[in-house]
Amino acid sequence: MTNLADTVGRRSTPYPTEIERGAIRRFAEAVGETDPIFFDVEAARQQGYRDVVAPPTFGISLPRHPIPGLQMVAGLIHGEQSFEWGQPICAGDVITVTDWVESVRQRSGKFGTMTLVTLASEGVNQAGERVFRSESVIIWPEGVA
């Protein structure tokens, strides 16, 4: 197994995805959205969007390539998540997602040593504009390989 500290700075291969109306609709339904801009092209255009717009957290559901040397294993804990949004994601956009290891640090507690890995993701549209950035902290408890 790769030493987790050695993965800092490693990036996935960028993964482009063309955004489809059906994918936006399914995601919006799954998260309980009811605003017509997520379902109806005309409603979205009346609000100034090019096409139906994706809910803010849609970007995290997009496919991505793995980060070289980083293997997610059973027993990991999702510790925290944060998002920043840029341009809206609309149907017809091509969003390219890249992930990387931002940092690795260790913390000791009453249950042993934990390794905290901060993963970052960024999505950009076909114009090179950022549509989202997210960070998540994944906890590797002691003994998880």
Domains identified in the chain, total number: 1
Which pLDDT score is estimated for 2?
61
Which pLDDT score is estimated for 143?
78
Q: Is the pLDDT of residue 145 over 80?
A: no
Q: Is the pLDDT of residue 1 over 60?
A: no
Q: Which domain holds residue 25?
A: 4-141
Q: Using pLDDT thresholds of 50, 70 and 90, give the confidence band for residue 3.
A: confident
Q: What is the pLDDT of residues 21-47, one digit of tens each?
A: 999 999 999 999 999 999 999 999 999
Averaged confidence pLDDT in the chain: 94
CA distances from 84 to 65, 88, 111 (A): 21, 12, 33
Share of the chain above pLDDT 90, in %: 84
Residues 50-75 have a mean pLDDT of: 94
Residue 137: phi and psi, rounded to 5, are: -105, 120
What is the C-alpha to C-alpha distance for residues 98 and 67, in angstroms, rounded to an integer? 9
Q: What is the pLDDT of residues 66-107, one digit of tens each?
A: 999 998 888 899 999 999 999 999 999 999 999 999 999 999
We report the CATH number of the domain holding residue 41 as 3.10.129.10
